[in-house]
Chain A
Amino acid sequence: MRKKLIAGPYMLWAIAFILIPLAMVFYYGLTDKNGSFTLSNIASISSPEALKSLVLALGLSLLSTVICLILAYPLAMILNNLKVNQNSFIVLIFILPMWMNFLLRTMAWQTLLEKTGVINQLLGLLHLPPLNIINTPTAIVLGMVYNFLPFMVLPIYNVLVKIDPNVVHAARDLGANGFTTFVKIIFPLSLPGVISGITMVFVPSLTTFVISDLLGGGKILLIGNVIEQEFKQVNNWHVGSGLSIVLMIFIIISMFITNKYDRDGEGAVL
């Protein structure tokens, strides 16, 4: 009985720093400056600026997620097929950039992509036309893919490692060729990892304001940027909270969609 009490400090902590703060977002989001109930903060998502930023954020994060999936799946498969004695080190190499400071990683791409950046200098040396993608949505997508690719590789790899090789052998034994084995057995069994990877790339991409800030040159606003400005510059917490509620609705929708395909919930990363 007493054992449960050991969780007491954490329970208090979670109430104070997780539940109450979240309740406050809802309180501010659903009230006006006088404290009376209103839906206008949430409705402000329909303003042209906010709506445009939400649609752009959804589009770019979907695109980044798809690109990450296409790049990560073959990578995870190749890593899984490595011999046991060499794989832990090689896997570490491909996960390592994930631990590098997020802002420095993004700054690196700024350095590479700028008008007088490293890539354009190299192109100039080769007498090729310069690449002008800095401050465009393309640069933002590139930044998202670069930053979040390991979050897609890791869960897929973790699930592939767990597939019993005999299950794959069984499919071959029953007459399936390599392609059929992949489509009917390996891919369906790896779905929990794919789902978890999609969530781990989609949510941070959808809500980022740093990548768009640094690689979009402050001119391209995503929904994250709009919320950040409401809090840090405009100081309108009510509208900021209202937009945050909208953002959370989209996160919940995306989790609902992905969870539908995750029958066993095996795709946890940790």
Chain B
Amino acid sequence: MKKTAQRIYLALIFVFLYAPIVTLMVLSFNGSKFRTKWDGFSTKWYVQLFRNEQIMSALYNTLAIGLLSALFATVLGTAACIGIHAMKKKSRMVWMGITNIPMLNAEIVTGISLMLLFIAFGVNFGFMTILLGHITFNIPYVILSVMPKLRQTDKATYEAAMDLGASPVKAFFKVVFPDILPGVLSGFLLSFTMSLDDFVITHFVKGAGVDTLSTKIYAEVRKGIKPEMYALSTIMFVSVLLLLLIINRPSRKKPQKSAV
């Protein structure tokens, strides 16, 4: 009885979450331009989507910015973690507090603050400003993924490696780095997805003529939804699904809890 109620509840929330997405997916295969009628199965919106040069260039920008910003953020963020971890408690608190600002502040404020900065220093808005903005909001995600792993590592193993003759750099890469690697990787993937998903900050730091998918969708949707957008949604949803399945695979191999 209680179990049935729980199942029904799960099902209702599931429908609420997925009905809109499924609707988009179904409409993406509708031959008709109008939502009003079903005009047979068709992939023509996909064809049109791939022929739309603006959307394709937005896709290229999105992926390039996503990869580059995730890469830069991962390197900067991981290095930052090691440095901050070695600091005294007080300065550690200060820097972690600063790191938290972009996470806690409203995206719109982060966006306009960066916009004001670029204007004040006369930077031309374009690909570069978007990249700088994305690196900025990605670094905290890397730090928050790596820091817990770094705290878990046993200081003794690092000292043991040095005791056995490894230089500090070598000891770090042989002993500490493998331990924090999962955090580094999840920080990278998290940054990449955050960058793909971002609209608000990009909206304020982008220049005319340069678009990411998010800003392109916003511009298109304000003019009126075209069926190509449904095709785009379907492709993006499936990509995210695949990406998440890949991310989650290694962690599922490990036992959930070790019985002590």
Contact = CB atoms under 8 A, between A and B. Distances in A.
B245 to A, nearest CB: 8
A228 B108 contact: yes
A10 B116 CA distance: 21
A8 interface: yes
B36 interface: yes
9 contacts: A7-B81, A10-B83, A10-B139, A11-B80, A16-B117, A24-B117, A75-B9, A96-B241, A248-B105
Given A8-B83, A25-B113, A99 B193 contact: yes
Contacts of A71: 13
B240 A244 contact: no
Interface string A102-142: 11110111111000111001000000000000000000000
Shortest Cβ-Cβ A-B pairs, 6 listed: A7-B83, A10-B80, A21-B113, A108-B20, A207-B106, A3-B86
A199 B230 CA distance: 32
A153 B28 CA distance: 30
Interface in B77-97: 77, 79-84, 86-87, 95
B57 interface: no
Contact of B18 (A97, A101, A109): A97
A6 B79 CA distance: 6
Contacts of A108: 20-21, 23-24, 233
Contact of B218 (A118, A210, A248): A210
Interface residues of A, number: 77
Interface in A224-249: 224, 227-228, 231-232, 237, 240-241, 244, 247-248
Nearest to A91: B248
Interface of A: 3-11, 13-14, 16-22, 24-25, 28, 71, 74-75, 78, 81, 84, 88, 90, 92-94, 96-97, 99-105, 107-112, 116-118, 121, 146, 149, 199, 203-204, 206-207, 209-210, 213-214, 224, 227-228, 231-232, 237, 240-241, 244, 247-248, 251, 255, 268, 270
B252 interface: yes
A204 B221 contact: no
Interface string B102-116: 101111111011111
B10 interface: yes
Interface stretch (B45-53, B63-71, B195-203): B195-203
B35 A20 contact: no
A146 B20 contact: yes
B105 A110 contact: no
Interface in B155-212: 193, 196-197, 199-200, 203-204
Contacts of A4: 83, 86-87
Contacts of B133: 17
Contacts of A16: 117
Given A14-B99, A99-B193, A207-B107, 19 more contacts: A10-B79, A14-B98, A17-B132, A21-B113, A21-B114, A22-B105, A25-B113, A75-B13, A100-B233, A104-B237, A107-B217, A109-B20, A110-B225, A116-B36, A149-B17, A214-B222, A240-B112, A270-B145, A270-B148
A251 B104 CA distance: 8
A78 B10 contact: yes
Given A13-B139, A116-B35, A94 B84 contact: no
Contacts of A17: 114, 117, 132-133, 135-136
Interface in B23-50: 23-24, 27, 35-36
B144 A213 contact: no
Contacts of B77: 10
A78 B17 CA distance: 16
Given A88-B252, A103-B221, A251 B106 contact: yes
Contacts of A268: 144
Which of A8, A21, A105, A232 is most buried by chain B, counting CB atoms within 10 A of its CB?
A21
A7 B82 contact: yes
Interface string B127-138: 000001101100
Which of B109, B136, B213 is most buried by chain A, counting CB atoms within 10 A of its CB?
B109
Contact of A237 (B20, B83, B105, B116): B116
